[in-house]
Amino acid sequence: MKLLFIENRHKTFLYEPITEHLKELGHEVHWLVQNKQFLPKTTTNTNIHIINYPTKKENIDCTDDGVAEVIISDRQVNHFQIKDQSYFYYYNSKIEEILLSIQPNFVFGESTSFHELLAIKNCKKHGILYLNPSTCRYPIGRFSFYKYDTLEPYLGSNETLTNDEASDLIDQIVNRKTAPDYMRLSPASKFETIKDKIKKTYAYIDGENYNTPNPLIKYKLEKQKKKNIRDWDTNAVGKVNKNHKFRILYPLQMQPEANLDVWGRPYRNQNELIRQILENLPKDVTLYVKPNPKSKYELSRELIDVVANADNCIALHHSTKMDVILPDIDLVITVTGTIAIECILNNKPVLTLIKTINNTAKNCLYLRSINTDITAIIESIKTGVFYKLSNQEKINFLNLLNSTSYKGIVSDPFTDKNCVNDNNINNLMKAFKSVVNKNEFRFYKEI
């Protein structure tokens, strides 16, 4: 098999030991590298394809060919004020050229950075399977291979939990005794963090201005972010008012993140999304907006004004815990948040704006249209006809997540140094071997 891995800064060093094992099994491994500062350290018998940074003299053909859709999700354009977009077309051409020269059977990478999204676009165009190994959130310690830029899992381990094991895990999730892997990290030390900042700054000076933000712009954004958090919390409340007749919760999703900017692309503008939800709510319904505990750039000045100026919208304080407010919430709306799984297992009515595997559970509805569907759903909850899962249905749903995922933690050694220990690499290797040895699609059915 020909396998192509996409460099993604520190994630490169999680994939690297896996690629060494795959080469020992006879697979031909290639790397596509955008940031030269994060080259694989072990280069023996490895084909590394480095894309040079574009020069001002470069004659770039800006024919669209689907590139505009990638630009919509780019964090540099959306958050870091980059103006010139011609480099997208340069990289698009170079990536397509590399793909056609290698003709890989599989491409593995994230769906976060612009060069990965361009690789996904070209893989779709040429019928190459692109897989994004990423946490499945629950059960913990597991991940799925998601197809292209979606949350649709490819294959899976087919492993199932016993009813007792599943029931115990459901209890932990419902009572918030556990948390997803991305919330339980062992990050780099202060010294390593400083080294990393120096490395990224050097990359920026060396010409990597496409995934690395301008340091001055980032400094200003970070300063504004802190002010926005203070302003939000000034008028925020710490709990839900039980006197409100019907209470909806919208937990803000962090940005920039693939979770919303890519997988939830149609709703990446949360300012507009909240405004649209508010416009379609009945008069006796109140929307509570909960910020991410580690708010980033989604908490904009515009969003603060949208929430503050709406009579039927209330901001929750950053210190507000989900387990404190969730019992008093009648309905949760999310785009692609982990909260959907927690609501399913808690029989808390939840609507998602993107259709995923979670919508196979009958108490997690896919909201096709905010304009026409939301009022009817609210009425179904008020009258008590919203579907509730039985204990066995909850177990079946959890086992669906388990069987379409694999054991292992997908992170990077900078964010989580434990992800490259021998045990985890061994688990990941088993999953990669299973996938590259099978070339069939598997679909899931509604529970």
Q: What is the pLDDT of residues 267-297, one digit of tens each?
A: 999 999 999 999 999 999 999 999 999 999 9
CATH 3.40.50.20 occupies which residues in the chain?
2-182+405-444
Strands (E), 316-403: 331-334, 350-352, 364-366
Record: fold of 226-399: Rossmann fold (3.40.50)
Measured in whole angstroms, the distance separating CA 226 from the mean position of its chain's CA atoms is 23
426, containing H or E segment:
helix 422-436
Q: What percent of the chain has pLDDT over 90?
A: 85
Is residue 272 classed as helix, strand or coil in its secondary structure?
helix
Return the sign of the alpha-carbon dihedral for residues 30, 36, 37, 43.
positive
Using an 8 Å Cβ cutoff, are 142 and 156 in contact?
Answer: no
pLDDT of residue 190: 84
d(CA 132, CA 229): 32
d(CA 17, CA 8): 15
d(CA 329, CA 349): 9
CA 403-409-412 angle, to 5 degrees, is: 145
DSSP 117: H
Is residue 49 classed as helix, strand or coil in its secondary structure?
strand
d(CA 122, CA 118): 6
pTM of the model: 0.94
DSSP 129: E
d(CA 68, CA 329): 39
Using an 8 Å Cβ cutoff, are 249 and 325 in contact?
Answer: yes
Most distant CA atoms of the chain, gap in Å: 67
Compute the CA torsion angle 312, 318, 323, 328 (nearest 10 deg). Answer: -20
pLDDT of residue 443: 43
Q: What percent of the chain has pLDDT over 70?
A: 97
DSSP 408: S
For the chain, report the end-to-end CA distance as a whole number of angstroms: 35
- Determine how many CB atoms are found less than 10 A away from the CB of residue 14: 23
Residue 273 tokens, joined: 């999304």
Using an 8 Å Cβ cutoff, are 210 and 95 in contact?
Answer: no
**Please, which residues bridge with residue 137 across strands?**
none
pLDDT of residue 112: 95
Which one, of 133, 104, 135, 134, lies nearest residue 119 by Cα?
104
CATH 3.40.50.2000 occupies which residues in the chain?
226-399
Is residue 397 classed as helix, strand or coil in its secondary structure?
helix
Q: Considering the domain delimited by 2-182+405-444, tell me its CATH architecture.
A: 3-Layer(aba) Sandwich (3.40)
Q: Using alpha carbons, list the distances in angstroms from residue 305 to 228, 271, 279, 405.
A: 11, 9, 15, 41
Cis peptide before 139 (omega within 30 of 0): yes
Q: What is the mean pLDDT of each run of 10 residues along the chain (447 residues)?
A: 96 96 95 94 77 85 88 94 93 97 97 97 97 96 97 97 97 90 78 89 92 94 97 96 95 94 94 96 96 95 95 97 96 97 97 97 93 90 93 98 98 93 97 86 44
DSSP 144: E
Residue burial 299-320, b: 16+ Cβ < 10 Å; e: rest: bbeebbebbeebeebbbbebeb
CA atoms within 13 A on the CB side of 137: 17
